[in-house]
Amino acid sequence: MLSYQHLYHAGNLADVHKHATLAWVLDYLTRKDKPLTYIETHAGRGVYDLTAAEAVRTGEAAAGIALAQGWFPPDHPYRQRLDETRAAYGPNAYPGSPLIAALGLRETDALHLAELHPQEHAHLKAVAQDWGAHVYQRDGFELALALTPPTPRRGLMLIDPSYEVKADYDAIPRHMTSIHRKWNVGILILWYPILRGGPHGPMLKALEATFPDGLRHEVRFPPAREGHRMEGSGLFIVNPPYGLAEELAAITTRFARLSKPIARP
């Protein structure tokens, strides 16, 4: 049974980490005049209202994007996607990764989105009808294997599970190996939470053994509220594009502001 709903967590610091990276990679890839494919295995609903009771209740956006948007200059692709989202969907809207992709892609690019939860899928389907996206209510890994190698062959896959099922940690390295075997030029971006106790450790070990050239990037932050187990956010990237390591170093610097004491008059 699926119970996770991203509306409770949209715009938190993990989203800032993941979405800023995604927006940068898409901006980099679309500088070349060649079409690409974007596939997302766990898409969520696409756009979030940060004034919804669920979002307000956890306070994660207040401790996330509300704090972090000033970290990004107006010409940063993430900041541009935030501004475009607010212009199109209202001042309290926050873009999920599918909308960051839709706003960053061109008409010649292909956009494929999997979301299994019936309610989330219905929201996504309604909003994505304007984006020229293919939306599927199907298991994300099953879809990823069915679509690869995609046309166009150049492109990117975002893998962003909710880790509701602890077996995900074991299964992800196997899924990513199978996807990479079918699509060896595809950029694969996996997001994972850094939770107290480090349940992601064995998964990372397996990924680093299979993909020795993969790029791992992690940021730490204070728990959004008392008792919250998430202490940080991680990305593991297969076939990282040129320049991404430098961009991730800039993201590290931005997150480091969180540990600096707030200047008082």
Binding site for ligand SAM (CB under 6 A): 2, 4, 6, 15, 18, 42-44, 96-97, 114-117, 120, 139-140, 160, 162
Q: Tell me how far apart the alpha carbons of residues 187 and 241 are, in angstroms, rounded to a whole number.
A: 8
Closest residue to ligand SAM using C-beta atoms: 96
Q: Which of 83, 130, 160, 170 is catalytic?
A: 160
CB 114 to ligand SAM: min, Å:
5
CB 31 to ligand SAM: min, Å:
23
CB 116 to ligand SAM: min, Å:
4
Residue 83 appears among annotated catalytic residues? no
Nearer to ligand SAM (CB atom), residue 34 or residue 57: 57
Nearer to ligand SAM (CB atom), residue 3 or residue 259: 3
Q: Tell me how far apart the alpha carbons of residues 263 and 261 are, in angstroms, rounded to a whole number.
A: 6
Which is nearest to 176 in space by CA: 216, 148, 138? Answer: 148
CB 108 to ligand SAM: min, Å:
23
Q: Which long-range contacts (CB under 8 A, 24 or more apart) does 179-182 make?
A: 179/141, 179/144, 179/145, 179/148, 180/211, 180/238, 182/145, 182/148, 182/149
Nearer to ligand SAM (CB atom), residue 81 or residue 117: 117
| Residue type for position 69 | Q
DSSP 165-230: STHHHHHHHHHHHHHHHH-TT-EEEEEEEEETT-TTHHHHHHHHHH-TT-EEEEEE---SSTT--E
Nearer to ligand SAM (CB atom), residue 69 or residue 162: 162
CB 98 to ligand SAM: min, Å:
7
Name every residue whose Cβ is closer than 8 Å to that of residue 3 and which is 6 or more positions away in sequence.
164
- Retrieve residue 82's tokens: 């935030």
Nearer to ligand SAM (CB atom), residue 80 or residue 153: 80
Whether 164 contacts 3, CB under 8 Å: yes
CB 123 to ligand SAM: min, Å:
10
CA atoms within 13 A on the CB side of 261: 3
Nearer to ligand SAM (CB atom), residue 191 or residue 255: 191
Q: Which residues are catalytic?
A: 160
